[in-house]
Amino acid sequence: MSTPPTAPPTNRNVHRFAVFTACCTFLLLIAGALVTSNDAGLSVPDWPLSYGSLTPPMVGGIFYEHGHRVIAACVGLLSIILAVWLWRVETRRWVRWLGVAAVGAVIAQGILGGITVLFFLPAPISAAHATLAQLFFCTVVSIAFFTSAWWQRQRPSVRDAGAPGIHALAQAAAIATLAQLVLGAAFRHKAFGIIPHLFGAVVVTGLIFWLAGVLKRRFADVPELRNCARVLHGLIGLQLLLGGAAWWSRSYSAQFPQPIPVMVTFTVVHTVTGALVLAATVLTALACYRLVGRSDAFAIRAGASGSSQPQQAAL
Amino acid sequence: MKGKSLIFAGASVALAIVMISCGNKQSTETPAANAPAANSAGKPVDPSTAGTVTGTIKLDGAAPKMKVINMAAEPSCNKQHTEPAMTEDVVTGPGGTLQNVIVYLKGDFSQYSFPPAAAPTTIDQKGCQYHPHVLALMTGAPLQVTNSDPTTHNIHPVPKNNREWNESQPPGATPINQSFAREEIAVPVKCNVHPWMKAYIGVLATPYFEVTGKDGSFTIKNVPPGTYTVSAWHELYGSSEQPVTIGPSESKSVNMTFKANAPAD
């Protein structure tokens, strides 16, 4: 099945570095979620320094807030290194610019974080900060995917004869998941109640089950897409359970004078699993674009060659 | 051209950061036009005819059990408590007397002027708790925040009708001086470093208020003759009101009771 590459692959170390950056970004998401769950967002009143220094006393909520800032600074640095590295070694222009976009996103994210502190956590800004975090994570994960040997290897393309097309369905699932994360962030930052987030959960669950089902039925002989379906099924099931647990733990913790570990754990894990669901839908959509050709293109090719056998896709 | 664009982009980001950094230094707050019930150009209250309103606030029913505060995250505060620190949402005394209730008079005080507070009202942070838990002061009166703890706090009032502020206070720092320009019952105060720390500050336009002590009693002195509403506010049980008419040099007693199972207003 495997065929020789048609373009010089990206430096393997760049890919490894992109994966490392994505892992660090995931840690950053956990740190950010810990800040919110521990109600520590304003424990450091100043920004960009913390208590006028780079090394404030790491007590109580300061541990979470300043820890989040330190990890964010590290991820920002990693993003800059990644972008410069891509710019130097990557032959695909759009991948180079994606690295630049990641740097832009991380800078914007830092500024949004500063606004949330200096303006006492305005709900729209806090929700935007949380949403941009997810988008940045997806961008870095995508860069890791695009620089992988798998992506750059020439793959046999398969045909999608069904309706709706797998590309549209995968896109819809990714967009709906992002919208659901926006609703979740808005609820978490008290912009509005739980109802829109619950409604979004129904829509996203339906779309992801639909997408996973279609992947299993139409592309049973494509192991990558079968695996995508498994991951999507697993993640959405886990996320639904975590959502219920997070809701219960929030209600339960209301009687306590401070955030309790069970609430912090469930809400943080639910938040970061949401990021994983979004990353999974984005990667699934990208894999679909990479592996599945458009039906009309196949029709033309099949007509020209007189065959309906799978064709070689371009990079 | 590319270089210029990069310089422009960099300058924009730097400008944004500077603007944001300066953004929280808000201008001096002015009192709302309709908030004060007193008139700075009015006459002083005549002490020879002024009366007094006294009374006791009680809780009808069993007080909810207070929760133990887990201060394990802050050992320096934890060791200040020989017994577990408890929440102070509902503090009752013998006979169901209710502490930490802000009792104040509502009415037309527009013809009177009131002297500014002689001394600042103080709230201290000790053992990672606010002392007192509930306090009240007049609009524009000085509030002094002190830190007796060997740890850093941030004091963060979350008002609805006043300017929000959030200041850090390391151990041994000089007191923070602030004030509130508008009436508000009551401004929640919290410390985000230690999320169990909560207090309430009542801000009133007149000096006719008091916060009940352990015996649930209050005394509001120097009240000009007239008809008023005695209003009592509790953080958990909300507000309760009762009318009162004070004659010249008269002293009236007004007792009020909150229902233990009543939800807050």
Give a three-class secondary structure readout of chain A.
CCCCCCCCCCCHHHHHHHHHHHHHHHHHHHHHHHHHHCCCCCCCCCCCCECCECCCCCCHHHHHHHHHHHHHHHHHHHHHHHHHHHHHHCCCHHHHHHHHHHHHHHHHHHHHHHHHHHCCCCHHHHHHHHHHHHHHHHHHHHHHHHCCHHHHCCCECEECCCCCCHHHHHHHHHHHHHHHHHHHHHHHCCCCCCHHHHHHHHHHHHHHHHHHHHHHHHCCCCHHHHHHHHHHHHHHHHHHHHHHHHHHHHHHHCCCCCCCHHHHHHHHHHHHHHHHHHHHHHHHHHHHHHHEECHHHHHHHHHHHCCCCCCECCC
pLDDT by residue (tens digit) across A11-57?
A: 889 999 999 999 999 999 999 999 999 999 999 999 999 999 999 99
Predicted confidence band at B69 (pLDDT cuts at 50, 70, 90)? very high
A198-244: per-residue pLDDT in tens?
999 999 999 999 999 999 988 988 899 999 999 999 999 999 999 99
As a whole-number percent, the residues of chain A with pLDDT over 90 amount to 77
What residues of A are in contact with residue B151 (Cβ under 8 Å)?
Answer: 57, 59-60
Least confident of A159-163, A186-190, B217-221: A159-163
Across the interface, whether the CB atoms of A51 and B152 are under 8 A apart is answered: yes
Q: In this structure, what DSSP letter does residue B165 have?
A: -
C-alpha B40, offset from chain centre: 23
Q: Are A119 and B23 spatial neighbours (Cβ–Cβ below 8 Å)?
A: yes
Q: Considering chain A, what is the average pLDDT of its residues?
A: 89
| Binding-site residues on chain A for chain B (CB distance < 8 A) | 38-48, 51, 56-57, 59-62, 65, 107, 111, 114-115, 118-120, 255-259
Check A59 against B193: CB less than 8 A apart.
Answer: yes
Residues 6+ apart with CB under 8 A from B94: none
Give the orientation angle of helix A123-146 with respect to helix A166-188, to 10 degrees. Answer: 140
CB pairs < 8 Å spanning A and B: 85
Label residue A314 by pLDDT band (50, 70, 90): very low
Residue A162, pLDDT score: 77
Return d(Cα B226, Cα B229) in angstroms, integer: 10
Is B62's Cβ below 8 Å from some Cβ in A? no
Q: In Å, how far is A22's CA from the nearest CA of chain B?
A: 25
Establish if B239 belongs to a structural domain. Answer: yes
**Number of compact structural domains in chain B:** 1
CA distance A240 to chain B (A): 29
Report, in angstroms and rounded to the nearest whole number, the Rg of chain B calculated over CA atoms.
22
Closest CA to B217 of B3, B11, B57: B57
Residues in chain A closer than 8 A to B21 (CB atoms): 47-48, 114, 118
Q: Sheet harboring B121-126: ordered strands across?
A: B129-131, B121-126, B143-147, B176-178
CB distance B113 to B40 below 8 Å: yes
B129: DSSP letter = E
The 8-class DSSP code of residue B95 comes to G
- Picking from B17, B69, B158, the nearest residue to A258 by CB comes out as B69
Nearest CA-CA distance, residue B128 and chain A, Å? 11
Q: Which of A36, A62, A63, A100 to mutate to test the interface with B (most CBs of B within 10 A)?
A: A62
CB B21 within 8 A of CB A47: yes
Closest CA to A44 of B163, B76, B193: B193
Q: Is the pLDDT of residue B225 over 60?
A: yes
State residue B265's pLDDT score.
55
B222 three-class SS: strand
Distance from CA of A26 to the nearest CA of B (A): 24
pLDDT > 60? residue B240:
yes
Q: Which two tokens stand for residue A108?
A: 């914007």
Q: Identify residue A68 by its one-letter amino acid code.
A: H
Is A45 within 8 Å of B87 when comparing Cβ atoms? no
From A129's Cα to the closest Cα of chain B, the distance in A is: 15
**Residue type, position B167, single letter:** E
A81 — phi, psi (to 5°)?
-60, -45
Q: Are A132 and A112 in contact (CB under 8 A)?
A: yes
Which phi and psi (to 5°) does residue B72 adopt?
A: -60, -30
The helix/strand/coil state of B261 is: coil
User: Residue type for A170, please?
Assistant: A
In the block, residue with structure tokens 């913790």: A253
Of A40, A59, A257, the CB nearest to B74: A59
Instruction: Please answer yes or no on whether A118 and B24 come within 8 Å at the CB atom.
Output: yes
Residue B10 covered by a domain:
no
What tens digit of pLDDT does each residue of A82-134 get? 999 999 999 999 999 999 999 999 999 999 999 999 999 899 999 999 999 99
Nearest to A39 among B69, B166, B192 (CB): B192
Range 160-189 of B in CB contact (< 8 A) with A: 164, 166-168, 170
HSE of A25 in the Cβ direction (CA atoms, 13 Å)?
Answer: 33
Predicted complex: ipTM over 0.90: no
Is residue B132, in this structure, part of any structural domain at all?
A: yes
**Residue B6 forms part of a structural domain:** no
Q: How many C-beta neighbours within 10 Å does residue A105 have? A: 19
- Domain assignment present for residue B265? The answer is no
Q: Which residues contact A22 (CB under 8 A, 6 or more apart)?
A: A137, A140, A141, A143, A144
Look up the CATH number of the domain holding residue B62: 2.60.40.420
Nearest CB to A45: which of B13, B87, B168? B168
Residues whose CB is less than 8 angstroms from the CB of residue B65 and which lie 6 or more positions away in sequence, other chains included: none
**3-state secondary structure at position B215:** coil
* Assigned domain for B5 exists: no
**CA A306 to CA A94: how far, in whole Å?**
35
Q: Pairing relation of β-strands B134-138 and B198-204?
A: parallel
Q: What is the pLDDT of residues B166-210, one digit of tens each?
A: 999 999 999 999 999 999 999 999 999 999 999 999 999 999 999
**Nearest chain A alpha carbon to B159:** A120
CA distance B151 to A56: 12
- Rounded Cα distance between B62 and B261, Å, is 9
- Residue B158: give the domain boundaries: 35-259
**Cβ A47–B70 below 8 Å, yes or no?**
no
H/E run at residue B13: helix B2-23
Residue for token pair 């209301």: A254
